[in-house]
Amino acid sequence: EDQVTQSPEALRLQEGESSSLNCSYTVSGLRGLFWYRQDPGKGPEFLFTLYSAGEEKEKERLKATLTKKESFLHITAPKPEDSATYLCAVQPGSGQNFVFGPGTRLSVLP
């Protein structure tokens, strides 16, 4: 069964304190791994797509990396506006369905 887990479940950082979020997956083949940011009561906002191990993508203070078993979302010098839930999703090679992880709830304190 295709599965996605994320850790930690929740993370509190001080402004400027860099850290990483983890997404571990077990899928039969991988068509893509996706990172989204979700604010409370809002729709998930697309951040990155990664397709193969070794790939990296960057956007402002965020950097996503991918290995064969997991992906990391690195947050460098976070600001309070980075507070949100970060969701990881994978698209297995067997079909079109996206499998979402439970998310990491990030709080950045000023």
Partner 1 sequence: DSGVTQTPKHLITATGQRVTLRCSPRSGDLSVYWYQQSLDQGLQFLIQYYNGEERAKGNILERFSAQQFPDLHSELNLSSLELGDSALYFCASSRGDGSGNTIYFGEGSWLTVV
In the complex, which residues of this chain contact partner 1 (CB under 8 A)? Answer: 31-32, 34, 36, 41-46, 49, 51, 87, 89, 91, 95-103
Q: Which is nearer to partner 1, 17 or 63 (CB)?
A: 63
At closest approach, how far in Å is the CB of 91 from partner 1? Answer: 7
Q: Which is nearer to partner 1, 76 or 98 (CB)?
A: 98
Q: How many beta carbons lie within 10 A of that of residue 103, not counting itself?
A: 20
- Taken as a whole, the chain contains a residue count of 110
At closest approach, how far in Å is the CB of 103 from partner 1? Answer: 7
Q: Which of 46, 52, 45 is nearest to 31 (CA)?
A: 52
Contact present, 6 and 70 (Cβ < 8 Å): no
